[in-house]
A and B are shown apart, each in its own frame.
Chain A
Amino acid sequence: MSTTPKALYRDEGIVLRTQKLGEADRIVTVLTRRHGKVRAVAKGVRRTKSKFGSRLEPFSHVDLQFYTGRNLDIVNQAESIRSYGNDVVDDYPCYTAGTAVLETADRLTSEEKEPSLRLFLLVVGALRALAERTHPAGLVLDAFLLRAMSVAGWEPALTDCARCAEPGPHRHFSVPAGGTVCPACRPTGSAMPNPVTVELLDALLTGEWERAEASQGTNRREASGLVAALLQWHLERGLRSLPLVDRSESAVPRREASPA
């Protein structure tokens, strides 16, 4: 009789999404620290008496034990590390931004079980910032999207020309070219965003929050539009949650950041 090696494995991860399966089961999609994206069946979690149903909601940071299945793995045990859901869900702008973070992480990891530690850390950081209201939700989302694109190898050029690397700054911005472009490389139909907007994108990408938070609403809207266009270009299909993101001011006051 053959024995299956490594039938059980353990990892921590963020629950990206859940789908109903059968009478009381769920398929949970988890972005794990060491195994990348894992889709696994959580049996009986929709029953009110389930031992770990509440731990496997989206936005939960959990320590999981999986049992290797034939098609999908099976969640064997779940322990909470931190549930960001309760803090995020109180505030609609935060919740919609958070779901866009989770959907992006799901879409950027097309291959299951391919480790993506940097993306995992980015998702944890974004959810923590949203839960603790350390920065406006819209800016956290755009910063996450820019950095996630950067991790995926699609970092936009925001100073030098995206095509010939001519030192900038340049006035024109081309989504297909991947950022700012010099007059010589500029394709037809390039946008001419406000230079302050491009500076805001740069601040979000490099994590200069003071500079980003000092920006005006019009620049933030323009920056969000450019980020969404860049992401859609690379993913080839828009995110379902991105048009539903509520970019209004958060109704819940900012909290003091808790120690990590």
Chain B
Amino acid sequence: MYEGAVQDLIDELGRLPGVGPKSAQRIAFHLLSAESTDVSRLVAALTRVQQEVRFCVTCYNVAEAEQCRICRDPRRTDDVLCVVEEPKDVVAIERTREFRGRYHVLGGAISPIDGVGPDDLRVKELMTRLMNGAVTELIIATDPNLEGEATAAYLARLVSPMGLAVSRLASGLPVGGDLEYADEVTLGRAFEGRRRIDA
């Protein structure tokens, strides 16, 4: 045990995800020996995140204004909406530069075993957005795991009376991989989602 402030810092760092007691101690001593300007910059960044970052009122992505950068962008199309679990999924899709529509962040996936049902996600808000008729296609980009698939199936059933085109992100073989090392579930999905090559 260290004295007062150092131990408090180690305790607080240890509460961060993926940071164990040894890592917390290492980070704390790094901060103690760091330049004071570096530490001040970190403190300022933390304070700014806490005070300025909030959720976009339209898509629930993280934003610094009432609406996020993507919802404010007039060059993006309003007719295609991509549903994701977390704000970090928006960043991952944006990196592809393939999608020019809007997003909706659910805030998680349906997981009854963890007590998370549809009412704990932003499903009602999604339905409200779809009601105005501007969206004609819904892309469900939840994680390709069991909870993500269940959430996609639930949403597809919920929006089916609206007559929207609903699609799910394809899953299959990773680019640059070898077929022989693919597991049977992934390979099966790749067969299901195969596409025609037009010569």
Determine, out of B33-41, B68-76, B109-117, B127-135, the stretch whose residues face the partner at the interface: B109-117
B11 contacts the other chain (Cβ, under 8 Å)?
A: no
Given A89-B150, A92-B153, A251-B157, A54:B112 Cβ within 8 A: no
- Residue on A nearest B111 in the bound complex, by CB: A99
The prevalent SS among residues of B at the interface is helix
4 closest Cβ pairs, A-B complex? A241-B112, A240-B115, A54-B185, A244-B112
Beyond A22-B18, A52-B183, A95-B150, 10 additional pairs, beta carbon < 8 A:
A55-B183, A80-B185, A85-B146, A89-B146, A91-B153, A102-B113, A103-B112, A240-B113, A240-B115, A241-B115
A90 contacts the other chain (Cβ, under 8 Å)?
A: yes
**A49, B183: Cβ atoms closer than 8 Å:** no
Selected from B111, B115, B117, B181, the residue in CB contact (under 8 A) with A51 is B181
A12 contacts the other chain (Cβ, under 8 Å)?
A: no
Task: List the B side residues contacting A241 at CB < 8 Å.
Answer: 112-113, 115
| A89→B115 CA distance, assembly (Å) | 17
**A58, B146: Cβ atoms closer than 8 Å:** yes
Task: List the A side residues contacting B174 at CB < 8 Å.
Answer: 48-49
- Residue on B nearest A59 in the bound complex, by CB: B146
Measured between C-beta atoms, what is the minimum distance from A37 to chain B in Å? 15
Task: List the B side residues contacting A22 at CB < 8 Å.
Answer: 18
Interface residues, chain A, with chain B CB atoms under 8 Å away: 17, 22-23, 48-49, 51-55, 57-59, 80, 83, 85-86, 89-92, 95-96, 99-100, 102-103, 240-241, 243-245, 251
Contact with A along B148-177 (1 / 0, CB 8 A): 011001100100000000000000001001
Selected from B112, B115, B177, B185, the residue in CB contact (under 8 A) with A96 is B112
| A89→B95 CA distance, assembly (Å) | 29
**B153, A90: Cβ atoms closer than 8 Å:** yes
B186 contacts the other chain (Cβ, under 8 Å)?
A: yes
Task: List the A side residues contacting B52 at CB < 8 Å.
Answer: none
The prevalent SS among residues of A at the interface is mixed
**A99, B112: Cβ atoms closer than 8 Å:** yes
Task: List the A side residues contacting B98 at CB < 8 Å.
Answer: none
Q: List 10 A-B contacts (CB under 8 A).
A: A49-B177, A55-B183, A80-B184, A85-B146, A86-B149, A86-B185, A89-B150, A99-B111, A103-B113, A244-B115
- Residue on A nearest B18 in the bound complex, by CB: A22
B145 contacts the other chain (Cβ, under 8 Å)?
A: yes
Task: List the B side residues contacting A48 at CB < 8 Å.
Answer: 174
Selected from B114, B115, B150, B184, the residue in CB contact (under 8 A) with A92 is B150
Measured between C-beta atoms, what is the minimum distance from A245 to chain B in Å? 7
| A89→B185 CA distance, assembly (Å) | 14
| A17→B177 CA distance, assembly (Å) | 28
Task: List the A side residues contacting B150 at CB < 8 Å.
Answer: 89, 92, 95
Among A22, A57, A91, A244, find the residue whose CB has the most chain B CB atoms closer than 10 A.
A244
**A57, B153: Cβ atoms closer than 8 Å:** no
- Residue on B nearest A47 in the bound complex, by CB: B174
**B113, A17: Cβ atoms closer than 8 Å:** yes
Task: List the A side residues contacting B111 at CB < 8 Å.
Answer: 99
Measured between C-beta atoms, what is the minimum distance from B177 to chain A in Å? 7
- Residue on B nearest A242 in the bound complex, by CB: B112
Selected from A55, A102, A251, the residue in CB contact (under 8 A) with B185 is A55
Task: List the B side residues contacting A90 at CB < 8 Å.
Answer: 153
Measured between C-beta atoms, what is the minimum distance from B126 to chain A in Å? 16
